[in-house]
Structure 1
Amino acid sequence: MQVLKIKAVISAMACGLLLVSGCTGLPVTTAVANASPVAALVALYTVQADGQRAVLRAITRQTIPPSSCPSVVWAGGPQQLMAVRALPANVPARGQAPYDSKAALFDVLTCEATWPAGASSAQVAGQTLAAPKADIQRIVVIADTGCRMKGSENAFQDCNDPVAWPFAQVAQSAALTKPDLVIHIGDMHYRESPCPPGNAGCAGSPWGYGFDAWQADFFAPAKPLLAAAPWVFVRGNHEICARAGQGWFRFADTQAWQAERSCNDPANDNDADFSNPYAVQITPDTQFIVFDSAKASGKPYTEKDAAFGKYKANLQLSDALSALKPHNFFMSHHPLLAVASGKKAQDPLPGGTVGLQSVFKTNHPLRLFAPQIDVAMHGHIHVFEALAFKSAHPTSLVLGNSGSANDGNLPTRLPAGFEAYPGAVVEDYVATTAYGFATLDRQTGEPGQWLMTAFNVQGTPLFKCAITGSKTKCTKAGVEP
């Protein structure tokens, strides 16, 4: 009986919201009783989760019945019906400003299945994805990819111009590097406000937090890169509950779907705006720790702040995870050690997120990070930066230059003695505001050795950085680091 009720609700929504032909006047049970599932596959991709667990996700625009997921054929295994993760829904607006306020329509079904051991590939609706690799050699890293449309800031990027918003080309160029893994360090969705009348740069763009904006901002341009390798998603501030959090939990989060953590009800935001950290195994001695900093403040917390307690607890979990492997990459959207542009390019400022710093220093007063953290990777600042330090601080990489409107100007050199944080004197530094992406290639020899290459939109190398443990040396491409 409950199944029929669910079908009735979703079918009614399909008639009323999706304008499915032939619905009017048909009893729901009659309409679906003898129908076989018909699904149009919108996106197929793999989410790399904790340890070596991987989840195959499919987004479909199904017709009849509305709650049926497609089957997946595992190479080397049986056919399996994918499970429903999130049903279609039309979620009421969450109290945004009137000019930004509209319901979030998710006219798609999100389905999933855990990759079984031994399967070499998966096929869904004629599309095939290769299995996640146990031996990861090359990783693509991107962040801050969406096209900014924000009325409160009067900020409207030219989303219709592939040069002004180059994420589609970035994704294509990155896919050509044939990665084994892709990491997105947050801020996938930016189309929050309607394009102003007369603005040809973004005219006709979808906006809001429903699937049409997610499709335009992420799934359509990312298609070749989604097909290239499994993805690790790191949550950014654009994916908090009050913004694009509903889509985050439908499409990117690694944990089982929970209504209480769907961001549909603002009463649950104090929980859903925070997630426990987890570690993705890269090699037997190296792991990448994923830390949800989405709600981090630019101002310091006090110990009485609820967010302080949340981040403190998650830092404790992160520290415990880092103790399991000798080499760790820490990934959060917000940087702790970074350079920000001042009023002039020659006047750089420390760019770390003060709220996180105020928490992390309680565990690690000088270093901010646990001793096993070699490298910290972030987005949030819309530039590329690589910083290494004279002190014992980990290398800090900021990779927020993958599509969203760039942030200011950065100097090509820093003043002598520049500190990204008290005691963190920068020893090696490269930066660019050019759009692009980066790769990490494992090096033979001692564990903890990687070569990072920063590319422009077309895939031309800009910088190469040799990473050994927490120390990094960068040079312009074409010069041996």
Structure 2
Amino acid sequence: MRFFKFVTGISLLALAFLSNAQSNPQWVQMVTNDQLSVRVVLLNDTQCPKVSVDNVPTAMHLRAAKVVDFPAVCELLVSRDTRSIKIKQQALPTLPSVVDRIAILGDTGCRINKINAQACNDAQAWPLRELSASIGAQTPDIILHVGDYFYRETPCPEGDKGCKGSPSGYNWDTWNADWFAPANSLFQSSVIALSRGNHEECGRAQNGWSRYLSPWAYPKAGQACAEMEKPYILKLKGVNYIMFDSSSGQDDRTSEPQLALYKKAIAQLKIDKDSTNIFLTHRPMWTYNKIKSTYYYGNLTQQIAFKNLLPKRTLFVSGHAHYLQVLDMQTDYDQVIIGNSGTELVKVGNTTQKNVDINKHMANFVYSRSGFGYGILTESSKTLKFYKQNGAHTGECIWLSDKQHPSLICQ
């Protein structure tokens, strides 16, 4: 059995490396209006390829033309019920008729800035390639990313072997190094749905986000960068997955205009008060961690704007904080944070703290786990299992969503 696991692990890594050799990154992501978006980055080709959709040859359109720092990308929108997607005889993922196993990861890029230089060349210090292969081996029905793909904002410091040769700056080479190349095995394994992180906000990596990953149409020439893209809902097996853009703004302060914007955005979704919801938002509403001398409690705008606004059976799932944490709140919405999928981690330890005061909001417990990893949510059992980048199981929680007061049980 151990030999089989060893061989399987080596095979997965080999497949991941081989997949990076393909000329044009191509993937299928779930987007707005209950559709799938087939996308292809044109690295060497000059024309969009044809796509076989349920054995019918279909033309793609140019989503964004080639510019100095970015290659062109093509797109084709198809129904979520599509059963077969092929480009040049290569099959791409589709959604199964029943979605039950959902992989969740977040904060995946390799951090290089003026303060920190993560060892991007070290697979242990930045394990996204191995983590992607591990998720693929779990055969999820869909993969959800809670934001922050791009971290190589400045050049690697001279003489630093850990990140020597790394590209940097807002261009394709950096996007490819930080996300597309190491995540290629994800693209081949499952449909993916993507959230926008603060590293993709206006003034940072918004060009790559809007060009390649945004669920919305690419902005027209002269159109200003959207500080907040409209939220939308993915319906998966009777659960609303609310995709909400919390990339801009600050966590420790808010304003009346921002509160009004958040409330209006949710009101326009017209969410049924009796529905079960998982709220995907990059910035966590709640967290609990002391960083140096300051406690980080979460995002104040969401705490105020969403108070009693959403159905009781709503679970928040976020990244932004670079660790794994689950918070069972007494009177507020429960929170799961999976921001430990590659970016340099913030230490939290392996602890379960009970009766925690989070800025005058009480948590029954705060469950924290250290190390890199990801989560697999099984909807039928409402069980969220956590794994290291190599697939080792590190813990799990059950979300009791059927109660009048939803709660979490973790171990």
- Asked if the contact 2:274–2:311 (Cα under 8 Å) also holds between the matched residues in 1, the reply is no
Q: In the alignment, is residue 56 of structure 1 matched against residue 56 of structure 2? A: no
The amino acid across from 2:227 in the alignment is D
Alignment of 1:359-370 (within 5 A): 359-360=305-306, 364=307, 367=308, 369-370=309-310
Q: Identify the residue that residue 272 of structure 2 maps to in structure 1.
A: 323
TM-score, with length taken from structure 2: 0.88
Q: Identify the residue that residue 338 of structure 2 maps to in structure 1.
A: 399
Alignment of 1:246-261 (within 5 A): 246-259=207-220
In the alignment, the residues of structure 2 paired with residue 160 and residue 332 of structure 1 have an alpha-carbon distance, to the nearest angstrom, of 30
- CA offset at residue 370 of structure 1? 1.0
- CA offset at residue 85 of structure 1? 0.2
Alignment of 1:270-309 (within 5 A): 272-283=226-237, 285-303=238-256, 305=257, 307-309=258-260
Q: Identify the residue that residue 426 of structure 1 maps to in structure 2.
A: 363
In the alignment, the residues of structure 1 paired with residue 329 and residue 259 of structure 2 have an alpha-carbon distance, to the nearest angstrom, of 27
In the alignment, the residues of structure 1 paired with residue 60 and residue 142 of structure 2 have an alpha-carbon distance, to the nearest angstrom, of 23
- Asked if the contact 1:74–1:123 (Cα under 8 Å) also holds between the matched residues in 2, the reply is yes
- Asked if the contact 1:382–1:405 (Cα under 8 Å) also holds between the matched residues in 2, the reply is yes
- Asked if the contact 1:130–1:229 (Cα under 8 Å) also holds between the matched residues in 2, the reply is yes
Unaligned runs of 5+ in 2: 1-21
- CA offset at residue 350 of structure 1? 4.8
Q: Identify the residue that residue 88 of structure 1 maps to in structure 2.
A: 66
- Asked if the contact 1:62–1:109 (Cα under 8 Å) also holds between the matched residues in 2, the reply is no
Q: 1:232 aligns to what SS in structure 2?
A: strand
Q: Identify the residue that residue 385 of structure 2 maps to in structure 1.
A: 453
- CA offset at residue 429 of structure 1? 3.1
Q: Identify the residue that residue 167 of structure 1 maps to in structure 2.
A: 128
Q: Identify the residue that residue 224 of structure 2 maps to in structure 1.
A: 268
Q: Identify the residue that residue 245 of structure 1 maps to in structure 2.
A: 206
Kindly provide the CA deviation profile for residues 303-341 of structure 1, in whole angstroms up to 9, marking residues without a partner as x. Answer: 2x4x444333223335x2x32761000110001111123
- CA offset at residue 124 of structure 1? 1.1
- Asked if the contact 2:197–2:320 (Cα under 8 Å) also holds between the matched residues in 1, the reply is yes
In the alignment, the residues of structure 1 paired with residue 31 and residue 25 of structure 2 have an alpha-carbon distance, to the nearest angstrom, of 18
Q: In the alignment, is residue 471 of structure 1 matched against residue 403 of structure 2? A: no
Alignment of 1:25-424 (within 5 A): 41-50=23-32, 52-63=34-45, 66=46, 68-75=47-54, 77-90=55-68, 105-106=69-70, 108-116=71-79, 119-151=82-114, 154-259=115-220, 268-269=224-225, 272-283=226-237, 285-303=238-256, 305=257, 307-318=258-269, 320=270, 322-323=271-272, 326-343=275-292, 349-360=295-306, 364=307, 367=308, 369-391=309-331, 393-410=332-349, 412-414=351-353, 416-423=354-361
Report which of the two structures shows the higher radius of gyration computed on alpha carbons.
1
Kindly provide the CA deviation profile for residues 202-240 of structure 1, in whole angstroms up to 9, marking residues without a partner as x. Answer: 110111111111110001111111111111101100001
The amino acid across from 1:47 in the alignment is Q
In the alignment, the residues of structure 1 paired with residue 52 and residue 119 of structure 2 have an alpha-carbon distance, to the nearest angstrom, of 41
In the alignment, the residues of structure 1 paired with residue 79 and residue 106 of structure 2 have an alpha-carbon distance, to the nearest angstrom, of 29
In the alignment, the residues of structure 2 paired with residue 302 and residue 80 of structure 1 have an alpha-carbon distance, to the nearest angstrom, of 47
In the alignment, the residues of structure 1 paired with residue 166 and residue 80 of structure 2 have an alpha-carbon distance, to the nearest angstrom, of 42
Corresponding pairs, count: 386
- Asked if the contact 2:348–2:368 (Cα under 8 Å) also holds between the matched residues in 1, the reply is no
Q: Give the 3 Å change call, closer, same or farther, for CA 118–389 of structure 1 in structure 2.
A: closer
Q: Give the 3 Å change call, closer, same or farther, for CA 202–421 of structure 1 in structure 2.
A: same
In the alignment, the residues of structure 1 paired with residue 290 and residue 131 of structure 2 have an alpha-carbon distance, to the nearest angstrom, of 24
Kindly provide the CA deviation profile for residues 136-171 of structure 1, in whole angstroms up to 9, marking residues without a partner as x. Answer: 0100000000000112xx211000000000111111
- CA offset at residue 54 of structure 1? 1.0
TM-score, with length taken from structure 1: 0.76
Q: 1:413 aligns to what SS in structure 2?
A: strand
Kindly provide the CA deviation profile for residues 383-423 of structure 1, in whole angstroms up to 9, marking residues without a partner as x. Answer: 001111233x2321000000000013346132x53123533
- Asked if the contact 2:398–2:409 (Cα under 8 Å) also holds between the matched residues in 1, the reply is yes
Unaligned runs of 5+ in 1: 1-39, 91-104, 444-448, 476-481
- Asked if the contact 1:287–1:329 (Cα under 8 Å) also holds between the matched residues in 2, the reply is yes
Q: 2:249 aligns to what SS in structure 1?
A: coil
- Asked if the contact 2:234–2:242 (Cα under 8 Å) also holds between the matched residues in 1, the reply is yes
In the alignment, the residues of structure 2 paired with residue 341 and residue 177 of structure 1 have an alpha-carbon distance, to the nearest angstrom, of 34
- CA offset at residue 59 of structure 1? 1.1
- Asked if the contact 2:82–2:94 (Cα under 8 Å) also holds between the matched residues in 1, the reply is yes
- Asked if the contact 1:301–1:359 (Cα under 8 Å) also holds between the matched residues in 2, the reply is no
In the alignment, the residues of structure 2 paired with residue 370 and residue 434 of structure 1 have an alpha-carbon distance, to the nearest angstrom, of 32
Q: Identify the residue that residue 9 of structure 2 maps to in structure 1.
A: none
Q: 1:397 aligns to what SS in structure 2?
A: strand
